[in-house]
Structure 1
Amino acid sequence: MALTANESIFSIQVASLKDCRVVQFSGEEDMSGLFNFTVEVVSADKNIDGDELVGKPGLMVIQDPDSPRFIHGEIASFSHMYWGQKLTHYQLVLVPKFWFLQHRIGTRIFQNLSVPEIIKKVLDEANITEEHYQLKLTGNYQSRVYTLQYNESEYDFLCRLMEEEGIHYHFEHSEDKHVMIMGDAKPVFQKIPLEELEYHPRSGLMAETDVSFTFWSQEKTVPGKVVTRDYNFEKPKMTLEVEQAGEKLSELQQFYFPGNYTEQAEGQRYAKIKTEAHEAQRYSVGGVSNSCRLIPGYLFALTSYEREEFNKEYLVKKVSHTGYQTQSLDSASGDQGSSYSNEYFAIVADTPFRPKGEQPLVIPIDGTQTAFVTGPSGEEIYTDEHGRIKVQFHWDREGQQDEKTSCWIRVNQDWAGGEWGAFKLPRIGHEVIIDYIDGDPNRPLVMGSVYNGESMPPYDLPEHKTRSTTKTNSSLGGEGFNEIRFEDKKGQEQVFIHAEKDMDIRVKNDRRDHVEVDRHLIVEKDRFEYIKADSHHQVNVSQFNKVAQKVSETIGQSRQLKVGNNYLEEAGSEVHFKSGQKTVLDAAMELTVKAGGSFIKFDPSGVTLSGPTVSLNSGGSPGKGTNASPDAPTTAVEADKDISGQKFTPTPPPAPAENQGIQFASMAQQIALADAMTNAKALVQNCKLKA
């Protein structure tokens, strides 16, 4: 831009700030960075109140013969510097609206939203409307199941997400606003309102057009390959490793784990973004110019440089501005006139630009937290096919204690095999301990449960401090429980088992019980046993059986009973013996058959018949007994059963990673190569062959 001596070209416009003149300013603008302009002004008014200005919009204008350059922003600070003889010096700082998000710190959950949707939500809630930002994105951004902003500013949170996704931003200024432009590809970049920027070294004369006084280029060493790996618990045998190589130095490899993805294609995209971020830093150019049109996020074409290969189109990355306007002062120092220059940094326009990746992928959580298990209204247990639960954290100010409070969270178990292991599921209302895989707040894990003032332990403490138990609660509604309890109090040791309804035990081979004192069994209703082979029952002392009603026995073959001393049976009504062939009663000393007042007695002395009348072959008929008709037993119901889990098959190990060494060229090789290229010589190296 052409400057005229003593011509004021810098001005400031703030609604409630009158008659202020710009003395000097400095400013920084950066791709994917906040602009910041510090402006020193003077005013005859000694009583300007900064409280009325901070947070208000301001506009600095750099006049140019073609069109003014606007720098629009919000006043972040206003300082009273010092009083002069006639004028008071003040300083104000202009920043974008996005700057204020550094002061909005919070912790909150975003569910099932893509990064662009999260950006829009945060900006809209901060009252940065769509009038002040544009999302000019070409990529396909998948919804993220769970994204956590944890104890960080909204500015850092959004910058972190944008860097991860390769989204850059810059600002466009107009007379009444500034707009934050977010993009992911070259079409979002506009050309500066100049046909070209001429290279013109300083000659002592004032340049009459926009020129670049100096120009330099730099190529630096950057990583040449990015390798990332992650793990998806739903596909545990899949090796989620991807790699992306840059243009050079693939042996300078960066390996990241975790890569924060669950699918191969997603990981490849992130690796490509990281590689492009490195490549954008590999080659850069810069210089000093007088063109206020150089703005980050804009394209310019360099011309007239001595080396033609540098005369091409570039993308401005960063600009540092400096301007002086001493004629605003009513003193002799005002004779110097106005001056403006900047230092700029740029990359070749065809190089994909990605933010540098200075933000961490996540803000790690140090240590554990607790939270309450949540779920739908009316439910007591809420889970999915993986045994995961949802929780509401104590810091969550938006959750409604329902099934939408968090992502599904896996639960730590004592054992976890293929359809075998241990399994306990925390229920709605339980307080659980949350840890984070690799400290990543987006990957919570339930590690256990704790009691609290409302959910107390099953037994009063410290009274029952020797008890250990696993006690459940019937669902829905409670009022029932299953329990396995251990009492370790000396002299009162006990194992207590309580089944609220059924108890099923299945033993595939032998079961042995050994009770050293007494065993008591009470069955309130029926007892069923089904023994498919033999039953052996041995009692060393006495056996006492009492049946209140009847005993029914059916014996398929023989029954043998041997009594060492007396065998006594008494029937209140009838005893009937019946055999299909013969019945033998054998008594060594005496056998008596008695009915009423008559009897027959057999003993060693003979046979005695006694009765009022003894009839031999005198007619009559024998008495009839009731035929035996025992009830059939009810077959016992089998115990519940399950199937074995999956057989473990280990995942085949991957091929070892190749650790490629750095290829350092010797000085002799470099000299030979340079000589060959300069003088068009053949490049020949000595080699030794073994016989």
Structure 2
Amino acid sequence: MLSLPIPSQIQRLLTDTTRLYRLQGDGSLDALLVQAWSLQEALDTPWRLQLITLSTQVGLDPHAMLGQPLQLHTRLADGSEFARGGLVTEARAESADGGFARYCLTVEPWLALLAHTTRSQVWQERSVTEIVESLFALYPLATWRWSPCVAQHLATSTNAGLRSYTVQYRESDLAFLTRLLAREGICMRVAPDGTLVLLADSVSREACEQDVVSASALGGAGVRYHASGAQEHQDAIQAFGATRTLPSASTTVLSWDYQAKRAVAAEVPTAHAWGGANAPALQDYALPGAYAHADTEQAARAALLQRQSVEARHKTWQGRSTVRSFTAGHWFQLTESDMDALDALGQSEEDKRFVLTAVTHAGLNNLPQSLAEQVVQQLGHADVGEGLPAALIAQARATGYGNTFEAIRAQVPWRPQPAPPREYPGMLTATVVGPQGETQASGAEEIHMDRLGRIRIRFDFQTLTQGPHTSSASSWVRVLQRWAGAAMGTQASGAEEIHMDRLGRIRIRFDFQTLTQGPHTSSASSWVRVLQRWAGAAMGSQFIPRIGQEVLVDFFEGDIERPMVVGALYNGQGEAGRRPTPGGQAAQDDLSPLASSGDHRPGAQGNLAGGHSPAWHGAGAGAVEAGGQANAAALSGIKTKEYGGWGYNQLVFDDSDQQLRTQLATSQYDTQLNLGHLIHQAWALSCAPGPTGPCAPARGC
């Protein structure tokens, strides 16, 4: 008897309820017949489902399939179905022959979309949950839920989970999310329907659900350790064993608190035996960076999270099974295994409960033999999964399904491995900002500084808000100074013009903060320390960058969440304007750069480009008409600016050859002290105190 043509058989099998696997999707996706599939999943990462399908429609458009929801339904031993669903992220049409074609699809949960988006943004004074949810708010398809254990877990962290300053820079959303959650000891699991579950206590049965086969009464509750066979009433585990690795025996963390001038440290020993009598007691010594922990209790908590991460991987269990519903993050009860013999030694049923941490699946649909042979003859063999273990492939070919898995005992807490902060070897530029994140001074309020001498900055990437809760400024940043100390230095009085805290820190905005990308992100920094050349008790110097100035920012130990201001930058060319004329005579504006500079008013302060130009342009040789300064002098020195005005104080060094000159001057009454070569008085000393009259060198000053 001749078999039906392949297209007719495929069309009939699409409605056959006895097939082991079927697809559910919209449009052309619903007309695809599963031939084979493989899936790799693990905690803390999105899974990836590979599908090989057949269709009677040769001309399907793979481009139209992208982004479409698709579910793979697996028939279980009791006749029910177990669904895994996600979005089609890759589709390709393969060989076609005789009126039918093969299509290969990749399906992933919505969480995988975060790997395709790179952002730079800042959050200030936001909790971990606010940061995560502001990131998810940018994805309309996002579905997630927090396990009840997370709130209790964060309540014991520093500031109850409130983070003063968090930065994502040139980093995918997925990489940033993984790093943030790992630092807080929160792990992720993706439910079969694609919902993301965030949890902090894997031991809790609310956080990790029981596997549906383990919970089923068919064949007895739990999952049996038993050989597989066609006559089995329930899926079973065929291979199961443990692997131990030599871990460290203790974890120590240490962080330096510059405000308290002390080291904050804690050590947490292992809660389990780490090896035999000859096993060395190794120490894991971690340095999370400056002022990472508020006190010893918080340091001990951080060390405990790292310790739990090590211990969760110290002893792991590997197995191979035919349990079609196994999912990473679910737990199962092992029954009828060799472990039952340990019950007489006091082992409890809890010791036989395991949480799956990773599962690799492979499946082949139970197509009629004639159809399977014709498909192989015309389209070739289906590659179930490249790189999968041979035993897994053999199991799938024999029974239609197989998996390999890793697990830990359910009473052992699972923690993601600590993610070190991303290191940034280069420096960034930023703009000093005021109390409200403004980049232009208002009147006399030119300096914004805290009691530590820190300022606040805004990176360039913070200028465009990218999401809720992001910030347009930084936390307080320390500032590099030439000379700093209490009760002395070169800082002018009048704190209203400097935005600075009691530690001398300022706030800045990085260049990348010009584009704030997410809700609740920030367009400025927290308080940032300012690097000084020399600092000590009651001595030193202090220069606090003012609001709107561009500064150069480096990072402690390469951690972008630990910024420090190391200097300031000129960024303006400037314009000229109307030159002074005797008697108020009319004159044309001279708009060439630098043309209007003079002894008491530097040129280029209005700035055609809107930047900040140098105080002196003495090295700008050449004619004014050609854009030069008409002066080959070499000027250097220090010049301050009056709060809310254009007055100044300055110390100028003129190193022109054979014309060395030093000037100490203030615009108040145009008072000057000139030493060395004088343009009008040649070699002499001149002291011009303004309205009080001249002072001749012979009589002293």
Shift of 1:206: 4.2
Shift of 1:437: 0.8
Counterpart check, 1:458 vs 2:615: yes
Counterpart check, 1:362 vs 2:428: no
For 1:211, give the aligned amino acid: A
Match of 1:268?
A: 300
Where is the helix percentage greater, Structure 1 or Structure 2?
2
Among 422, 436, 439, the alignment partner of 2:555 is 436
Among 305, 315, 325, the alignment partner of 1:283 is 315
For 1:252, give the aligned amino acid: L
Could you say what secondary structure the match of 1:164 adopts?
A: helix
Match of 1:208?
A: 233
| Cα deviation digits, residues 403-457 of structure 1 (max 9, x gap) | 7611111111111112321100111121111111111000111111121123221
For 2:282, give the aligned amino acid: L
Q: How do 1:388-403 residues align onto structure 2 when only pairs under 5 Å count? A: 388-396=454-462, 397-398=464-465
Pairwise CA RMSD of aligned residues?
Answer: 3.0
Could you say what secondary structure the match of 1:320 adopts?
A: strand
Q: CA 1:370–1:329 in 2, change beyond 3 Å: closer, same or farther?
A: farther
TM-score (structure 1 length as normaliser): 0.69
Contact 1:116 1:135 in 2 (8 A): no
Match of 1:106?
A: 119
Q: CA 1:326–1:486 in 2, change beyond 3 Å: closer, same or farther?
A: same
Counterpart check, 1:57 vs 2:225: no
Q: CA 1:66–1:232 in 2, change beyond 3 Å: closer, same or farther?
A: farther
Counterpart check, 1:323 vs 2:384: no
Work out the CA distance in 2 between the residues paired with 1:421 and 1:149: 35
| Cα deviation digits, residues 587-607 of structure 1 (max 9, x gap) | xxxxxxxxxxxxxxxxxxxxx
Contact 2:251 2:285 in 1 (8 A): yes
Match of 1:81?
A: 94
Match of 2:163?
A: 144
Work out the CA distance in 2 between the residues paired with 1:234 and 1:385: 11
Among 5, 22, 35, the alignment partner of 2:34 is 22
Counterpart check, 1:475 vs 2:679: no
Q: CA 1:484–1:282 in 2, change beyond 3 Å: closer, same or farther?
A: same
How many correspondences in the alignment? 509
Could you say what secondary structure the match of 1:190 adopts?
A: coil
Work out the CA distance in 1 between the residues paired with 2:228 and 2:544: 80
Contact 2:89 2:107 in 1 (8 A): yes
Shift of 1:19: 2.3
TM-score (structure 2 length as normaliser): 0.68
Could you say what secondary structure the match of 2:191 adopts?
A: strand
Work out the CA distance in 1 between the residues paired with 2:530 and 2:83: 56
Q: Which has the larger radius of gyration?
A: 1
Among 170, 180, 184, the alignment partner of 2:196 is 180
Q: CA 1:487–1:313 in 2, change beyond 3 Å: closer, same or farther?
A: same
Counterpart check, 1:484 vs 2:543: no
Specify every segment of 5 or more residues in structure 2 that has no aligned partner in the other structure, as ranges.
1-15, 216-220, 275-279, 376-396, 466-470, 475-506, 508-522, 573-610, 621-630, 672-681
Contact 1:328 1:334 in 2 (8 A): no
For 1:179, give the aligned amino acid: T
Could you say what secondary structure the match of 1:94 adopts?
A: strand
Contact 2:670 2:690 in 1 (8 A): no
Q: How do 1:470-619 residues align onto structure 2 when only pairs under 5 Å count? A: 470-477=638-645, 479-501=646-668
Contact 1:106 1:149 in 2 (8 A): yes
Q: How do 1:335-354 residues align onto structure 2 when only pairs under 5 Å count? A: 339-354=400-415
Q: CA 1:262–1:420 in 2, change beyond 3 Å: closer, same or farther?
A: farther
Shift of 1:475: 0.4
Shift of 1:523: 5.0
Specify every segment of 5 or more residues in structure 1 that has no aligned partner in the other structure, as ranges.
505-515, 528-538, 546-691
Among 216, 221, 243, the alignment partner of 2:267 is 243
Q: CA 1:522–1:279 in 2, change beyond 3 Å: closer, same or farther?
A: closer
For 1:10, give the aligned amino acid: Y
Match of 1:257?
A: 287
Work out the CA distance in 1 between the residues paired with 2:128 and 2:17: 50
After alignment, is 374-383 or 178-187 more displaced?
374-383
Contact 1:284 1:345 in 2 (8 A): yes
Could you say what secondary structure the match of 2:613 adopts?
A: coil
Work out the CA distance in 2 between the residues paired with 1:502 and 1:235: 45
Could you say what secondary structure the match of 1:116 adopts?
A: helix
For 2:651, give the aligned amino acid: I
Match of 1:158?
A: 177
Could you say what secondary structure the match of 1:152 adopts?
A: strand
Work out the CA distance in 2 between the residues paired with 1:476 and 1:91: 68
Work out the CA distance in 2 between the residues paired with 1:522 and 1:344: 87
